[in-house]
Amino acid sequence: MPEHAIGGFEAALILLISAVVFVPLAVRFNIGSILGYLGAGALVGPSGLGLIQNVDAVRHLAEFGVVFLLFVIGIEMKPSRLWLMRRQVFGLGGSQVLITGAVLASAIVFLPLFPSPLNVGQASLIGLGLALSSTAMGLQILAERRELSAPHGRSAFAILLLQDLMVPVLLAMVPMMANKTDEFGDELAFAAIEAFGMIFAALLIGRLMLRRVLRVVAQSRSSEIFTAVALLIVLSMAWISEQAGLSQALGAFLAGLLLADSEYRHQIEGDIQPFRGLLLGLFFIGVGMSIDLRLLLTDWPLILALLVGLMAIKTLVLIPLCGLFGQDWRDGTRVGLLLSQGGEFAFVLFGIAISQNVLSPQIGSMLVLLVSLSMALTPLVVLAAERLHHRLSPVTTTLRADTPPEPRTNEAHVIIAGFGRVGRTVAVLLKAAGKPYLAFDKDLERVARGRAAGFEVFYGDSSRPEVLRAGHAARAALLVVTLDDPGTTTRLVACIHQQFPDLPIHARARDLVHSQSLHSSGALQVVPETLEASLILGDKVLTALGMASSDVSAVIHAQRENGYALLMQSGLAQDPAGN
């Protein structure tokens, strides 16, 4: 199909179809969704079928996926936790960038790796540019494998965060090399002071204003406006960061940190997640489209040598560095392989270097291909390394037949959907028992009163599954649904049961008919409130009439065991008024 025949609508349709076909196939063969996106991009891109030629347009739009990913990471990380990671961020991260950059630059200068020789400045720029890894690739692999909180996951995140801080340094190098200025140190220091001054001002203003703005918007009870404000916050901080010479992703991460302790964090995260997932997938498709298969076919020996050299050097540098910072060689190997690829920032850096004649177009194209291929290979390398590790280190311990199963850890929390009178009562009992929980409610005054009383309650529409996912429903011990509206409750139970079939759901029902509907939708335990209140009142009446407590308990228990048979026959179970 000729390029002029592909409009915006057709291009979007092609991208969606390719993703829908390739991603489920990749997941089906257990190689991860990222490779599915990369394969889809390679197929429809300029060097594949050529259905879409404008790779830059796709990549620029898809960069927002990385922005939203870093925002979600930031909103899940409290500033106090980040402060505890300062040694890894500046020590491990700084060492990785400097050492890897120096090794790569030395190899470029002393080995005939490129068609034309490069000077020390060009080699340093390329070496430091390739020393940075892909934030999107690394964090997405960790998220899919649920390893962000693992020791190697924390180390990888610390390194990626420091690499984002290096962006203004590398951006400042290009015009200085183009102008051959001798004032590199002074200009770099001024750029750094200006950048961090703008970020500090943005953080200060955000700290003072964000919660007030969100409170006003939440009081409007307009979910669409709240979503729009959430997007505005993320994109504004990303824009300010870019104007300061830093990466957009770093600004989004700082915006997330500002909201990490607020009562709005889960609702905002739930609003952002759909955009993040869609745009991040588009980002990986863009990377796949950047793979120049024609250049690969013509210069494959050189490209292969560069690819193996890049990934080997980055891995071999990180293994001993991680050891120096308290990790064993296994975790160091995981970090090294995970960050062995080039990063998305290289596309921007080398593009600017080509436009300012710091690098030739031929070398720039080769570097873009090298980065794209390294990103495409990373999921396969990580998967192969994990399988090899499991094969070489089989589990040697076995459980005895009489060994009881380990109980569920105390860290598994309870999610309470709705913080009205029923939800608050459940929270009181959980708090008294010392059990962790999270409660959600979209009534801002109810949330404010609950937080003032010391409850872990957050602003959020708990009828939306994405908000519960933001509350880590996949790791929860159980979900308690206490919403007033029967229809909303039934839809939520059915949706959550479909997405998290192993999550036990306890729900409040209006009556017996609603109770049966919730059971069929996937609820494990259902309490019909009007009938239970009737049974408790009947218990008191029978006791007042002199019936023995054991007989009263037997009658009440029989009614529950028989599905409230007598009450059902009487018609009380279907009394819509609940009188």
Structure token pair of residue 221: 């009870």
Three-state DSSP class for residue 327: coil
**How do residues 374-426 score in pLDDT, each as one tens digit?**
888 888 888 887 777 666 554 433 333 333 333 344 468 899 988 888 888 88
Whole-angstrom Cα distance, residue 493 to residue 500? Answer: 10
More confident residue, 3 or 190: 190
Three-state DSSP class for residue 287: helix
The per-residue pLDDT of the chain, averaged, comes to 78
User: Is there a contact between 329 and 389 (Cβ–Cβ < 8 Å)?
Assistant: no
Longest dimension (CA), the chain: 102
Per-residue pLDDT at 398: 37
Whole-angstrom Cα distance, residue 13 to residue 369? Answer: 26
Per-residue pLDDT at 312: 93
Query: What is the arithmetic mean of pLDDT over 220-226?
Result: 78
Between the CA of residue 550 and those of 373, 534, 539, 541, what are the distances in Å?
74, 19, 11, 14
Whole-angstrom Cα distance, residue 413 to residue 405? Answer: 20
Amino acid at 413: H
Per-residue pLDDT at 402: 37
**How do residues 516-527 score in pLDDT, each as one tens digit?**
888 888 888 888
Query: What is the arithmetic mean of pLDDT over 92-120?
Result: 86
Whole-angstrom Cα distance, residue 518 to residue 525? Answer: 9
More confident residue, 435 or 223: 435
Q: Count CA atoms closer than 13 A to 279's CA, side-chain side.
A: 18
Per-residue pLDDT at 563: 54
Between the CA of residue 107 and those of 102, 119, 436, 451, what are the distances in Å?
9, 12, 53, 58
Per-residue pLDDT at 317: 93
Name the CATH code of domain 414-574 (choices 1.10.3720.10, 3.40.50.720, 1.10.3470.10, 1.20.1290.10).
3.40.50.720
Query: What is the arithmetic mean of pLDDT over 63-92?
Result: 77
pLDDT exceeding 70 applies to what percent of the chain?
Answer: 83
Residue 86's H or E segment, with its range, is helix 86-86
Amino acid at 141: I
Domains 3-180+190-392 and 414-574 alike in fold: no
Residue 12's CB: how many other CB atoms inside 10 A? 13
206 has a pLDDT exceeding 80: no
**Domain boundaries in the chain?**
3-180+190-392, 414-574
229 phi, psi to nearest 5 deg: -65, -40
Q: In what order do the strands lie in the sheet with 414-417?
A: 457-459, 437-441, 414-417, 478-481, 505-509, 525-528
62 phi, psi to nearest 5 deg: -70, -20
pLDDT grade for 99, boundaries at 50, 70 and 90: very high
Whole-angstrom Cα distance, residue 409 to residue 281? Answer: 34
Helix and strand numbers, DSSP H then E, in the chain? 27, 6
pLDDT grade for 570, boundaries at 50, 70 and 90: very low
Predicted TM-score of the model (pTM): 0.62
Whole-angstrom Cα distance, residue 118 to residue 335? Answer: 30
410 phi, psi to nearest 5 deg: -70, -15
Please, where are the H alpha helices in 325-360?
329-338, 345-355
Per-residue pLDDT at 393: 57
Q: What letters, b where the CB count within 10 A reaches 16 and e where it falls short, cover 427-438?
A: beebeeeeeebb
7 has a pLDDT exceeding 80: no
24 has a pLDDT exceeding 70: yes
Indicate the CATH number for domain 3-180+190-392: 1.20.1530.20
Per-residue pLDDT at 130: 93
- Residues ≥6 apart with Cβ < 8 Å to 307: 370, 373, 374, 377
Measured over the CA atoms of residue 171, residue 172, residue 176 and residue 182, the dihedral's sign is negative
> What 8-state DSSP symbol labels residue 572?
G
Whole-angstrom Cα distance, residue 143 to residue 277? Answer: 12
184 has a pLDDT exceeding 80: no
User: Is there a contact between 480 and 416 (Cβ–Cβ < 8 Å)?
Assistant: yes
Three-state DSSP class for residue 439: strand
**How do residues 118-156 score in pLDDT, each as one tens digit?**
888 888 899 999 999 988 788 878 877 778 778 888 889
DSSP string computed for 389-414: HHHHS-------TTPPPPPPPTTPPE
